[in-house]
Structures are given as structure tokens and as C-alpha cells.
Amino acid sequence: MEERIQKILARMGVASRRKAEELIAEGRVVVNGRTAVLGMKADPERDHIRVDGRPLRRPEPKVYIMLNKPPGVLTTLEDTEGRPTVKQLIGSLRFRVYPVGRLDFNSEGLLLLTNDGELAYRVIHPSHRVPKTYLVKIKGVIGEDDLNRLRRGVMLDDGMTAPARIRRVRMPRAEKNSWLEVTIHEGRKRQIRRMFERVGHAVLKLKRIRIDGLELGGLRPGQWRYLSDDELKRLKKSLRI
């Protein structure tokens, strides 16, 4: 059965669908001797597909990992400057997995890693509206007017943000800063930090605590585990996979 090349690559664990589109655009995918282009379709049972000169192989078993990323670690598998990466935290696995989305260098919390490109695409892409929830500490005491601005959406340099769900979670009397729980479904670079900067408050701490129904629970910083069958089943049901 024919389907789009990027979908085949994602389903077979080569890369996420977005990354597969980049591979095609860079001319790194060849189908039956012809360089693939975006929109091209193929049948993996019949056609010969190569990525970077290597033939496409049967899909590996799917692996789904939850990691509690500490601050000071890059959400990438390699770094030319020798900085710590999430790959060093998960150690040697039989199958190569990729981060689903990102947490910036100074942020921490729940990060998924998988070789299931279709699932990764659906978690990341804003059209699927997958909620991601963060515990955020900001400098100063934020007023309700500014919180309501963020709830409605604010203009950033890359466009208006979608409405966010925000609630105060704790504020001791002596505390001069604000703790908030923020839920968004977009995944722009440094989005939450930029949102609060837009209303005059720097983010002091940012921790992702939930992706859809998945929660860190007792997972300590730097630790990881496989998703349970029930967790994976619920996530796939939510993503309509």
C-alpha cells in the first residue's frame, strides 16, 4: 500500500515525521534510484527506499521512555561542545530513541524518548492539542490582569500564543515570587519563558510535570523508566493512534 514517504520513515522509526520531511527536503532519501521529494508516495513492501545511502529496514520494536531531565542537560543525543546530553542519562539501549520535543538547557522535568515517529509527531504538533503542564516559579508577585493576558494569549516575536491554563499553586506569605501551574499545547522555543517575560516577569524555575495523562510520579532527576502498558494505551487512545 502506497503512503507518503515521511509517514513511512516515521512509522519505521527512522525519525519523527517532521525530521523525515527535513531528510527528504535535503535530498537524503532515494526511492527506486530517484531522489525523493515532499509529497512522493511509495510502497515499502515493493519499493526500494534508501536514507543516506542505507536501505530502509524492517521497523525495530517500538520503545517508549519517560525521563526526568535535570537542569543543565541538553535535550539532544549529541553535542559538539561536549555538554551533557539526555543520551548520557539513558545509557546504552539496544534501540536508538529520540527526544519528543524539547526542554531547554535550564529547564527540567518530564521528557519522552521513543523510536515511534508517528507518536512523537502527534505529541509535538500543535494541531493535536496535546496538553503539557509545567510548574513555574517567576520573579515577583504577578497580578490577575497579567495572568488573564497570558490566559487569553500574548503576542510574541513569532506570533500570538494560544490560550493557556494558569493557576496559582502556592505563595507563602514571606515569598516574594510566584509559583504557578501552566498548561499549554504549543511547543515553541522557550515559549513559557518568553510569555512571562512579555508581561514583565522572569522565569526562575521551569519544570514539566505532565504530558497529557503521563506524570513523573516518584521519578527522580536523571532517572528514567519505560512507559507501562496502561500508560502507553491511554496515550495512544488520546492521540487516536
Per-residue pLDDT, 99: 95
Is 141 within 8 Å of 150 (Cβ atoms)? no
Closest CA to 109 of 204, 224, 201, 196: 224
E strand map for the chain:
3-4, 29-31, 34-35, 41-42, 49-51, 54-55, 64-69, 98-99, 108-114, 132-138, 155-156, 159-160, 165-170, 178-184, 203-211, 214-215, 224-226
Closest CA to 214 of 222, 223, 226: 226
Whether 64-126+214-239 shares its CATH topology with 131-211 is answered yes
Q: Is 64-126+214-239 CATH 3.30.70.2860?
A: no
To the query of whether residue 52 is one of the catalytic residues in this protein, the response is: no
- Tens of pLDDT, residue by residue, the chain (241 residues): 889 999 899 888 788 888 899 999 999 999 999 999 999 999 888 899 999 999 987 667 899 999 999 999 999 988 889 899 999 999 878 888 999 998 999 999 999 999 998 899 999 988 899 999 999 999 999 999 999 999 999 999 999 999 999 999 976 667 789 999 999 999 889 999 999 999 999 999 999 999 998 999 899 999 999 999 999 999 999 988 8
Per-residue pLDDT, 226: 96
Per-residue pLDDT, 241: 85
Per-residue pLDDT, 95: 81
Per-residue pLDDT, 103: 94
Per-residue pLDDT, 171: 66
Active-site residue (options: 47, 52, 104, 158): 104
Per-residue pLDDT, 199: 96
CATH code matching the domain that covers 131-211, chosen among 3.30.70.1560, 3.40.50.1470, 3.40.50.620, 3.40.50.80 = 3.30.70.1560
Please name the CATH architecture into which domain 3-55 falls: Roll (3.10)
Per-residue pLDDT, 172: 64
Per-residue pLDDT, 44: 85
User: Which residues lie closer than 8 Å to 199 by C-beta, 6 or more apart?
Assistant: 142, 146, 149, 150, 154
Per-residue pLDDT, 10: 85
Q: What residues does each domain of the chain span?
A: 3-55, 64-126+214-239, 131-211
